[in-house]
């Protein structure tokens, strides 16, 4: 009995100490409130083509850091800096389509979290802090995660999904409305998202999808949402695939616009679908992980079998950047009768995740890339 009493006393003491330590940590490692200092990180501006009064694409290749996601006010200030710079150049008008990169909204999962999330050098500790900040919700969703999923990633995107969907819509709606432009709002990871009366609604616990929304100049969402149909192998650990047959084409002041999310632009069925719907313009939000990966040898198709027209001898012989030009929009948009397209990549220093990729322009049947620079780039492409 004496040993049991000593054990219980020790257990109570350890529990009390742990509880006190947790409480002190929560008190000292607080979320960052208000607009935090942001750096747009501009490296260059580029103009492609001449103004034919038919409208234009403005590709925003941002330079993002974890601190930009401290809260929605800070993220708005960061992105607003790019829009303001484009406006100052005279690039924004009623026939402008602004294109943001893939996953630009996904890191809203880190918003309003302890300050150490944004100062962490690696994504692992940052995400561990996020999990510890929501212990009960994290445990609940972690235990219900699909057996085949990467449970941690699935849980982190699930437990904050409703807030993420709300913030994504309010933030990008405000930008589109403020500058009166059509906005391809990159993409965001959400569970079974759909539109109800103009609002993005999610089902926490459902399958996760990588989706993009198109915002009209009045700030409303032009439905339907765009679902990524060909997630790469790394994404398949926590994302479900959309249907190619559901890829939409939107009526815009510039013509019929298709949006293909990253890898979707590498597959012929995507182009067959948008050609059937009469697409004239193409926007591709992308995210290429690993620093300096574009100069590395191309490893081949990722997550899906290569289409029949792919030259297998290119694998390991050409670079990833060259493969983007040959097997994405540059090699496939012509068959779909696309007139003009733009492909923009997420860049920055997001913990240790790495980023790479150059904005790709498509016009007159040819694709070219804007030479890579360490920083943000604004590209104006006249239609």
**What percent of the chain is predicted at pLDDT more than 70?**
91
Q: What is the rounded average pLDDT of the residues 119-138?
A: 89
Query: Higher confidence at residue 282 or residue 373?
Result: 282
Q: pLDDT tens digits, residue range 241-250?
A: 999 999 999 9
| Rounded Cα gap, residues 342 and 359, in angstroms | 7
Strands 63-64 and 366-369: unpaired
Burial of residue 16 (number of CB atoms within 10 Å: 0-12, 13-18, 19+): exposed
Q: What is the pLDDT of residues 338-357, one digit of tens each?
A: 999 999 999 999 999 999 99
Question: What is the per-residue pLDDT for 169?
Answer: 98
* Range with lowest mean pLDDT among 81-95, 102-116, 130-144: 130-144
Q: Identify the residue whose tokens are 């009390």.
A: 16
Categorize the per-residue pLDDT at 370 as very low, low, confident or very high, splitting at 50, 70 and 90: confident
Q: Quick one: what percent of the chain has pLDDT higher than 90? A: 76
Each residue's pLDDT tens digit, 34-69: 778 788 888 889 999 999 888 999 999 999 999 999
What's the pLDDT score for residue 36?
A: 82
The tokens describing 321, both together, are 């950047």
The tens digit of pLDDT for each residue in 265-295 reads 999 999 999 999 999 999 999 999 889 999 9
Q: Answer whether 310's CB lies under 8 Å from 328's CB.
A: no
375 pLDDT band, cuts 50/70/90, is confident
Under a CB-based contact definition with an 8 Å cutoff, are residues 238 and 206 in contact? no
pLDDT of residue 10: 36
Helix axes 123-133, 151-159, angle to 10 degrees: 50
Q: Give the Cα separation of 90 and 11 in Å (integer).
A: 67
Q: Which has the higher per-residue pLDDT, 267 or 6?
A: 267
Instruction: Give mean pLDDT, residues 115-136.
Output: 89
- Global pTM value: 0.92
Residue 29: band (very low, low, confident or very high) from pLDDT cuts 50, 70, 90: low
Q: Is the pLDDT of residue 98 over 50?
A: yes
Is residue 382 pLDDT above 80, yes or no? yes
């Amino acid at each position: 009995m004496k040993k049991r009493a000593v054990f219980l006393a020790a257990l109570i003491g350890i529990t009390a100490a742990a509880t006190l330590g947790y409480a002190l940590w929560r008190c000292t490692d607080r979320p960052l409130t208000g607009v935090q200092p942001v750096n747009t990180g501009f490296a260059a501006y580029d103009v492609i083509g001449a103004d034919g009064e038919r409208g234009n694409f403005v590709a925003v290749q941002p330079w993002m850091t974890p601190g930009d996601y401290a809260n929605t006010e800070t993220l708005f200030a960061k992105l607003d800096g790019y829009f303001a710079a484009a406006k100052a150049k005279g690039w924004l008008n009623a026939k402008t389509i602004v294109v943001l990169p893939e996953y630009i909204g996904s890191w809203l999962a880190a918003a309003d979290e302890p300050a150490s999330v944004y100062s962490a050098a690696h994504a692992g500790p940052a995400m561990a802090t996020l999990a510890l900040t929501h212990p009960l919700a994290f445990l609940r969703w972690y235990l219900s995660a699909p057996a085949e999923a990467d449970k941690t990633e699935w849980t982190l995107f699930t437990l904050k999904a409703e807030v993420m969907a709300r913030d994504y819509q309010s933030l990008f709606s405000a930008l589109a409305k403020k500058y009166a432009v059509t906005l391809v709002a990159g993409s965001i990871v959400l569970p079974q998202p759909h539109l109800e009366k103009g609002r993005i609604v999610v089902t926490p616990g459902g399958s996760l999808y990588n989706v993009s929304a198109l915002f009209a100049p009045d700030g409303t969402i032009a439905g339907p949402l765009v679902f990524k149909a060909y997630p790469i192998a790394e994404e398949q650990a926590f994302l479900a695939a959309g249907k190619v047959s559901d890829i939409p084409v939107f009526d815009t002041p510039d013509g019929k616009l298709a949006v293909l999310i990253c890898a979707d632009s590498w597959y012929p069925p995507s182009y067959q679908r948008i050609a059937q719907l009469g697409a004239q313009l193409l926007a591709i939000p992308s995210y290429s992980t690993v620093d300096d990966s574009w100069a590395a040898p191309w490893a081949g198709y990722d997550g899906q079998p290569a289409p029949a027209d792919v030259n297998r001898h290119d694998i390991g012989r050409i670079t990833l950047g060259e493969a983007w030009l040959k097997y994405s929009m540059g090699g496939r948009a012509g068959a779909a009768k696309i007139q003009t397209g733009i492909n923009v990549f997420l860049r920055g220093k997001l913990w240790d995740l790495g980023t790479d990729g150059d904005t790709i322009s498509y016009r007159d049947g040819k694709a070219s890339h804007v030479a890579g620079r360490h920083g943000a780039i604004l590209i104006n492409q006249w239609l």
